[in-house]
Structure 1
Amino acid sequence: MDVGRVVTWGAFRIRDQHDGDYTPHGMKERALMAMLALSPGQRRRRLMLQDMLWGKSTLKAGQVSLRQALSNIRRDLGPLRDSLKSDRDAIWLDPPFLIAEDQALPASEFLADLDVPDEEFESWLRDQRQAVTEPENVGQKSPPPRPSAALPVVGIVPVAAQFDDCQFLCHMLAQQLADLVAGIAACKPAILLLPEDGAASYTFVVEVQSGQDEWLILVRLLGDPVRQYLWSNRLRVERNLGRIWDAPEFAGLLNKAVAALNDQLSLRGPEGDIARIQRAIRRIYNYDKSGLETAIGLLRASTNGSAMGLALAWQAFAQLTSVLEFRTDAARRAASAIDLADEAVRLSPQDPTVLALAAQTQLKFTKDFDYSHHLALRAVEAGPENPYALDALSQSQMMRGELSLSQRTAERARLVATGLANSFSWDMQAAFGALCMGRSPEALDLLRQCHLKMPAYRPALRYLIALSALCGNDADAQRYSQRLARLEPCFTPLSLLDAAYPMETLRSLGLDAGLKDRIG
C-alpha cells in the first residue's frame, strides 16, 4: 500500500511516495486531513471533527456533512484512499501518513492556506502554529519523562516576598487554586517548589509582592516543555489579612486561571470528557438552537467516564435552556431534564456545579422552591466561590422574596465569575436582582454590559428593549429592536407582550402592563 506524506509548512499538501499530489480540493476536507495528521495516533473522534468544522450546523446536518467530506477525501486521495479508515465512533489514518520534516521557508507559514470560519477550528489552528514557532534552541536538553499518571499533571508554584503575610497569602491562594484544578477532574494538581521542565503538563506560578498598602498578586500559566508562556493575570488588593476570607476578587482571579487552563486542555491532545463538556458549555451559552442540539450531542458522548455526573447536569441545563428559549417539545424535555438532574446529583452529590444546575432545573420545571433552595444551599456549602452555585442561590432567594439578599448574592456571583467565557450571564442575573429592587437605571447599565460582552445574547436584548421603552427612551428601544430582529427574524416589539415569550421576570414583576401602554 502507498504511504502518504503530509506537507505542513506553506500550503497544506498530501503527496505519495513518488511526489504525486493528492490533496483534497475542498477547504474543510483539507482541514479535516490536517487535524487527523497532527493528532496523537492520527486519530480523532467523529463528534469532535464534526463540531470543529460544522459546529454551526445541527447535529444531524453535521453528520451528513462529515460523511460527504469523507467521500470527497477518498475520491481525491486516489491511491492513498485506503489509508483513511473510519467507524461509527472515530476516523483515523492507517498506515499513518509521514510528516515531511522540511524546514520552514523564510516567508512560509504553518498550514498557510487553511481558513475555516469556525471558532473551534481557528483555536486549534492558532494553537498548532504557536506550538511549532517556539525557538528551537530552548529544547536542546531533553526534558525528563513526565510522571506516568492517567491524568495530566498541573504544577502550582507559590512565590512570595519575604514577609509572613505575603507567604501566608501566596500559599493559601496556591492551595485554593489546587482545589479548583482538582475539581476540573481532567488533571492532577501538584504543589511544586520550582517550575521544573517535564514535571507537569502545565504549571501555574502564583506570586505575591508587597507594597506599602497593597498586595500585587500575579498568576501565570506556563506550558511544558520549555515553560512557554500561555496566560497571565494580576490583581491589586488592600493589604489586609482580616478581609481576605470574604474578598470575591481572589476567587475571580483563580476562576480566570482555571478558565485559561480549561481552554488549553480543550485545545491540546486527544479529546476527553471534560474537553467535550467545556465545548458544550460554550454552545449552550450561545443561545442558538442548532448549537444547543450540538451541545446535547457532545454531552451525551461524555456520560461514560468520571465526569458523568457533570455531563448529565449540563445536559439537563441544556434541555432547560431549549425549553425556555425555544419552547421545543417542552413537556418531554422538562421531564427528561428533571430525571437527568436527579441522576447527576445521585452520582456527584458533592459537586457544587452539579448541585447548582440541578437546583435551577428544579426551580424552573418542578416549582419545588424548598427543594431547589436546599440544593442551592448545598452547592454554596460545597463551593463557596463557585459562580454557578451563587447564581442558583440568588435565583432561589429571589423566588422566596428575599430580594435584597438575592441582589447581594448576584453581585458576588458576578464578581467571582469575572474572566469566565460566559460571564455575561451573571451580569444578566445581577440585572434581574436590581430590577426586582426597583433600581431600573442600575439594571439597564448591567444589561448594557452584558450586551457588550455578548452582542448575540438575545435575553439581554429583550430586556434592553423593554426597560428602554419603560424609561421613555424610544430611540434606544428601537435600536435594540432592530438588533434583535436580525437574530429573530419574526420579532417585533409586540412579541414582548406574548405570554409564551421568554420574559418571565418582567411578567412576575408586573412590568408587562406598563410596557403594553408604551408599545401596545
Structure 2
Amino acid sequence: MTDAPRLRLHLTGPFRVETSDGELRTPVAAKAQGLLLLLALSPHGEHTRRWLQDKLWSDRAPEQGAGSLRQVLRQTRIAFGPEASILQADRQRVAIDLAAIEIVSEGHGELAEGLDARDPEFEDWLAMERAARAEAEPVPPARLALRTGLAATGPPAARRIRVQAAPSDEVAVHWLSQLVADGLARHLRERLSHEILRRDTGPSDGDLAIRIDGFRETGARVGLRVTLLSGAEGQQAWSGFRFVEQRGTPAIDDPQVQQLMVEAASSVETAIQARFGQGDPRAVDTDPDLLCRAAVRAIFSMAPEQLLSADDMLRRASAIRPHAVYDAWRAQIRVIQSVERHSGDPRRFRAEGERFGRIALEADPQNATAAAILANVHHFLLADSAGSLEFAERSVRLNPGNPMALWARSTARLYTGDTKLADQDALRGRFLMRTSEFRFFWDLQQFATSMVLGRADDALRLAQRASAQCPIFRPPHRYLTALHAHFGNEAGAVAQAERLRRLEPDFSIDRLLHDGAYPASLIHRAPNLRIASLASLV
C-alpha cells in the first residue's frame, strides 16, 4: 500500500495510463488496456485468471488463453516500468493496487473510447459499462419527475425506524437483547432505504419502532420477545417470541434467534406497506422500499413478464433513492432469466447480471444480500465456482442469519465438493424461511443437496413441495421428470415433462439427458439415480 497514487488511469476518452508527472505508461496492446480496464472497474481491483481469460480470449482454449494472459501481464509490467509492482498476480487471481492508482473518469467522450480488444465477450461487457454510465448521468429535476412520476418537490424523505433493546438486570440476558437489536438493525439496513436508528432511549419518531425484551424464564432457558410498534401512539403492529437455551455466552447464533430476526424484518416491510402504502395511490410509485417489496414478490413469481416488471420497479426505486439491494435484485433477475431459459440474449443476461451485482457491492460492501447475489452471478452466469464461494463466504460473514447468504453458500459449496456443508446451509436457510411465502426457493436448494447426497426420497418430496408452491418454476419440473422415472412412475414422469414443455416449448427428455448446457446437471451427479429409466421415455 502507498501514501499517494503513483499512476493515473484515465477511463473517459482514449484509455491511457500516466504517472503523477504526466509521463505516459499506457501499454500498447489493446488486450493489455482491456485487462487494466477490467481490473479498474472491479469492486476490489481484482478478478480470477479464468474470468479474465473468458473476457479477453473467449474464443481460445483454456491453455491458450492462460498463455496469452501471461504474455499480456508481462507487457503491462514493462509499460509500467518502475511501477510494475502495482500489477499483482498469483496462480488464481490478477489485481491492481487501488491505493497506488488514481482512477479518473471525468471529461468528455465515452468509456475507453476507440478501444478494440477484438473479443465478443469483452465487447459485450464494454457496451454494458458504457450503457450504465449513460444511464447514471445526472438527470434534470424536471426529467426525473417525468421519469419516476414524482411531484416537482422530489422524492419523499426516508422515514425512520427505531430499534431498541429493553434493559435487563441480568448481564447475559441484557447482552442477548442488545445483540438481537444490532442484528435486526443490520437485517433492516440490508433490505431498506429507510433510516434505521439503533438507540435504546429517546422519544418515538412517529413512524415505526421495534422493541426487544429478554427475560430469564428458568435455569438456562431465556425468552425473547420482539414487538413492532406503529405510529406516535405506539400501536402494536406485530410481535413474535422464542425461547432459547443460554448458558453464559449470549445465544445470538441460535437458529431460533436468527429466525425471529428474519420474521421481524419481514414484518417491518409489511408494516411499511400497511402504514404508508394504504390510502395514497401514489405511495407504491414514490416510495422506493414499497417498490422494492412489490418487485421482490414479482421476482419470486418466476413469471417472465413479472420479472420484467420487477426490473422496472427496481430501476425506478434506485432513481428515487439509491440502495445496494435494488441493483442486487436486478442482478438476481438476470440469474433467474438465464437459469429459467427466458427469451432474450444469454450474453446480455450475463453482462447485465455481472454489472448490477458489481454496482450493488460497490454501493455497500457490507450488504450481505448484495454479496450473496454476486455469488449467484459468479456461479450461474460466469461459471466461476471459486469466485462464487468467495463472495458467498463473505456474505455469511457479514450476516450469518441472512437466508440468501446461506442459499448462495450452499450452492457454492455444492459445486466445489463440500456437499455435507452445503446441506447444512440449505437446512438452516429453509428453517429461517419457514414462514415465508418464498420458502419454495429454499426448499429447492435442499432438494439439490439431497440429490447429490443420494437421498432420492427427500429430493422427491422437496421438489414436489417447491412445485406446489410455485407451479411455473421450471427447475422442479425438470428434476421431477427424472425422479418419477427413477421410482418407476412412468406416468408421473411423462406428466411432468408435458407440464415443462408448456412452460419451455423446446424442452425434450433427450435434451434433459444429453445437453451439457441445459440447467439440470444434478441428474448426472446424483448417485444411483436410474438414468436408464429416464432414457427409456425418449
Would you call these one fold, judging by a TM-score over 0.5? yes
CA distance in 1, matches of 2:189, 2:328: 19
Aligned to 1:519: 537
* Secondary structure in 1 matching 2:226: strand
Aligned to 2:520: 503
CA distance in 1, matches of 2:532, 2:323: 46
The alpha-carbon deviation at position 448 of structure 1 amounts to 3.6
Q: Is 1:247 aligned to residue 262 of structure 2?
A: no
CA offsets 1:388-438 (integer angstroms, 9 cap, x no match): 122111111111111112111222222233334422211111110111111
Give the AA of the match of 2:177. Answer: C
Query: Would the alpha carbon gap of residues 395 and 512 (structure 1) be closer, same or farther in structure 2, given more than 3 Å must change?
Result: farther
8 Å contact from structure 1 (residues 266, 276) kept in 2: no
Query: Would the alpha carbon gap of residues 280 and 413 (structure 1) be closer, same or farther in structure 2, given more than 3 Å must change?
Result: same
Give the AA of the match of 2:384. Answer: D
Give the AA of the match of 2:289. Answer: I
CA distance in 1, matches of 2:163, 2:150: 36
The alpha-carbon deviation at position 243 of structure 1 amounts to 7.5
Aligned to 1:320: 335
Aligned to 2:210: 204
8 Å contact from structure 1 (residues 159, 170) kept in 2: yes
Structure 1 residues 393-408: aligned runs within 5 Å: 393-408=409-424
CA distance in 2, matches of 1:502, 1:409: 22
TM-score (norm 2): 0.62
Q: Is 1:330 aligned to residue 346 of structure 2?
A: yes
Identical-residue share of aligned pairs (%)? 24
* Secondary structure in 1 matching 2:392: helix
Q: Which moved more, 1:339-348 or 1:422-431?
A: 339-348
Q: Unaligned stretches of 5+ in structure 1?
A: 1-85, 94-148
Structure 1 residues 413-428: aligned runs within 5 Å: 413-428=429-444
- Count residues with an aligned counterpart: 379
8 Å contact from structure 1 (residues 202, 223) kept in 2: yes
The alpha-carbon deviation at position 90 of structure 1 amounts to 2.1
8 Å contact from structure 2 (residues 177, 214) kept in 1: yes
The alpha-carbon deviation at position 327 of structure 1 amounts to 4.0
* Secondary structure in 1 matching 2:196: strand
8 Å contact from structure 1 (residues 266, 279) kept in 2: no
The alpha-carbon deviation at position 293 of structure 1 amounts to 0.8
Query: Would the alpha carbon gap of residues 222 and 475 (structure 1) be closer, same or farther in structure 2, given more than 3 Å must change?
Result: farther
8 Å contact from structure 1 (residues 320, 337) kept in 2: yes
CA distance in 1, matches of 2:308, 2:174: 48
Structure 1 residues 427-466: aligned runs within 5 Å: 427-466=443-482
Q: Is 1:281 aligned to residue 296 of structure 2?
A: yes
* Secondary structure in 2 matching 1:246: coil
Give the AA of the match of 1:513. Answer: I
8 Å contact from structure 1 (residues 279, 295) kept in 2: yes
CA distance in 2, matches of 1:263, 1:224: 14
Aligned to 2:241: 234
The alpha-carbon deviation at position 290 of structure 1 amounts to 0.4
CA offsets 1:245-272 (integer angstroms, 9 cap, x no match): 4322211110111111122334525333
8 Å contact from structure 1 (residues 259, 419) kept in 2: no
Query: Would the alpha carbon gap of residues 163 and 88 (structure 1) be closer, same or farther in structure 2, given more than 3 Å must change?
Result: closer
Give the AA of the match of 2:245. Answer: E
CA distance in 1, matches of 2:167, 2:455: 43
* Secondary structure in 1 matching 2:218: coil
Structure 1 residues 186-197: aligned runs within 5 Å: 186-191=193-198
Query: Would the alpha carbon gap of residues 91 and 161 (structure 1) be closer, same or farther in structure 2, given more than 3 Å must change?
Result: closer
The alpha-carbon deviation at position 294 of structure 1 amounts to 0.5
Aligned to 1:73: none
Aligned to 1:90: 149
* Secondary structure in 2 matching 1:220: strand
8 Å contact from structure 1 (residues 313, 344) kept in 2: yes
8 Å contact from structure 2 (residues 148, 319) kept in 1: no
Q: 1:353 aligns with which of 369, 381, 388?
A: 369
Query: Would the alpha carbon gap of residues 157 and 420 (structure 1) be closer, same or farther in structure 2, given more than 3 Å must change?
Result: same
CA distance in 2, matches of 1:457, 1:398: 21
The alpha-carbon deviation at position 383 of structure 1 amounts to 1.8
8 Å contact from structure 1 (residues 155, 200) kept in 2: no
8 Å contact from structure 2 (residues 454, 526) kept in 1: no
CA distance in 2, matches of 1:455, 1:225: 43
Q: Which moved more, 1:352-361 or 1:335-344?
A: 335-344
TM-score (norm 1): 0.64
Q: Unaligned stretches of 5+ in structure 2?
A: 1-144, 278-282
Q: Is 1:220 aligned to residue 227 of structure 2?
A: yes
CA distance in 2, matches of 1:444, 1:201: 46
CA distance in 1, matches of 2:512, 2:526: 14
C-alpha RMSD of the superposition: 3.3
CA distance in 1, matches of 2:165, 2:325: 30
